[in-house]
């Protein structure tokens, strides 16, 4: 199969490219060329995603049977997918569970859940979904990954993906966490999500469908941090940050902080592929790669966490004293 992978050297899609090359597909990777391409059997088109139409002739010559795009964030870019690939049997848009919104309730969210995007990123992804699904119909498939883990990814902190969290944990510093880390998240192993994407290329059951690409285990943010601490062989220390205060004063709060359990049952049933990554194994691969690749940064570069912890602990003492008087 001729497969075009747009952004094929990225943190997630390089796994997709690996799988396509391994199964013998003829692969063309669209990349800006900022990362080395380790696959000798894949061809390269150096181009910026926003300038894809400037390479219409080269793309038409390749005539992809399948197109996978993980770096489409704007409706105009989604229209590129509709207009440039009339002969493609499958066009896969990699979206995000962020389109569902923030706190989504206690039950794992399925694809039937309504979409209530909050951030500009999520609104852009939802708009791209509509363009592709309406413009391509059954030729389109949408995947909504959750918090992706594995090599090349960073662990998340209060502020989103962070190079400082691992250093902070290993130094025994307290980690600020929304409401003490009570929220639930459902991370996904990059390789598992990639397997579903590749399986969709030739599966009629994926025609015009949306799939959650999420893991098989949900975990509290507290246990997520606790697993990192266990991997590093240290004791976890957490300090609670009130969610209502955080929401009020942080303009674009990271979506990782909110209560967001998801279900991957539809993907598992459709493709017959169950998640292989556990929370422990995913985080072990992520942390190990961060350490080996020099992606862990000195937490002293981000002093706001120390200030936030100190202030939160002081307020805990003051509140405790007041409650004791009652």
Q: What pLDDT does 5 receive?
A: 96
Whether 196 is in a domain gets the answer yes
The predicted pLDDT at position 225 comes to 97
Residue 38 pLDDT > 90:
no
- 4-13, 81-90, 233-242, 292-301: range with lowest mean pLDDT: 4-13
The answer to whether position 181 is within a domain reads: yes
Domain assignment present for 38: no
Residue 239 within any structural domain of the chain: yes
pLDDT tier for residue 253 given thresholds of 50, 70 and 90: confident
- Per-residue pLDDT at 61: 95
Q: Which two tokens stand for residue 63?
A: 């005539």
pLDDT (tens digit per residue) in 257-297: 788 899 999 999 999 999 999 999 999 999 999 999 999 99
- Total domains, the chain: 1
At 39, the pLDDT band (50, 70, 90 cuts) reads: low
- Cα separation, 111 vs 109, whole angstroms: 7
* Whether the Cβ atoms of residue 79 and residue 18 lie closer than 8 Å to each other: no
**Strands, E, within 95-164: which ranges?**
140-145, 148-149, 156-157, 160-161
Domain containing 265 — which CATH number? 3.40.50.720
Domain hosting residue 226, numbered range: 72-315
- As a whole number, mean pLDDT of residues 223-246 equals 95
Looking at residues 295-304, what average pLDDT do you find?
96
Asked whether residue 174 is domain-assigned, the answer is: yes
* pLDDT at residue 20 greater than cutoff 70: yes
**Has residue 125 been placed in a domain?**
yes
pLDDT tens digits, 119-146: 899 999 999 999 999 999 999 999 999 9
Average pLDDT for 317-324: 91
**231-to-4, 51, 280, 291, 296 alpha-carbon distances in Å:** 37, 43, 8, 12, 15
Average pLDDT value for residue range 91-109 = 90
- pLDDT(104) > 90: no
Residue 308 lies in a domain: yes
Please give the structure tokens belonging to residue 38.
């380790």
Kindly state the average pLDDT of the residues 221-237: 97
pLDDT tens digit string along 163-184? 999 999 999 999 999 999 999 9
> Which residues, including other chains, have CB under 8 Å from residue 170's CB and lie 6 or more apart?
232, 234
Is 217 domain-assigned? yes
Average pLDDT, the chain: 93
Structure tokens at 147: 């918090």
């Amino acid at each position: 199969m001729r497969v075009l992978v747009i952004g094929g050297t990225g943190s997630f899609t390089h796994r997709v490219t690996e799988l396509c090359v391994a199964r013998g597909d003829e692969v063309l990777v669209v990349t800006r060329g900022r990362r080395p391409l380790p696959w000798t059997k894949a061809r390269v088109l150096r181009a910026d995603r926003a300038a894809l139409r400037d390479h219409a002739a080269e793309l038409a010559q390749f005539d992809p049977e399948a197109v996978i795009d993980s770096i489409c964030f704007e409706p105009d870019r989604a229209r590129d997918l509709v207009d440039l690939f009339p002969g493609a049997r499958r066009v896969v848009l990699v979206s995000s569970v962020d389109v569902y919104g923030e706190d989504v309730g206690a039950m794992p969210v399925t694809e039937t859940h309504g979409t209530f995007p909050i951030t500009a990123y999520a609104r852009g992804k939802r708009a791209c979904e509509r363009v592709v699904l309406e413009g391509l119909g059954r030729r389109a498939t949408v995947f909504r990954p959750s918090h992706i883990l594995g090599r090349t990814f960073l662990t998340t902190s209060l502020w989103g993906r962070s190079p400082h969290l691992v250093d902070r944990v290993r130094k025994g510093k307290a980690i600020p966490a929304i409401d003490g880390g009570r929220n639930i998240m459902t991370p996904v192993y990059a390789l598992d999500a990639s397997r579903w994407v590749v399986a969709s290329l030739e599966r009629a059951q994926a025609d015009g469908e949306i799939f959650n690409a999420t893991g098989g285990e949900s975990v509290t943010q507290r246990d997520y941090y606790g697993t990192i601490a266990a991997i590093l062989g240290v004791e976890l220390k957490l300090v609670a940050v009130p969610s209502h205060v955080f929401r009020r004063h942080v303009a674009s709060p990271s979506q990782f902080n909110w209560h967001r359990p998801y279900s991957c049952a539809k993907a598992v049933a459709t493709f017959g592929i169950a998640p292989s990554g556990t929370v422990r194994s995913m985080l072990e691969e992520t942390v190990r790669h961060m350490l080996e690749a020099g992606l862990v940064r000195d937490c002293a570069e981000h002093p706001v966490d120390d200030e936030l912890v100190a202030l939160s602990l002081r307020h805990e003492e003051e509140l405790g004293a007041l409650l004791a008087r009652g």
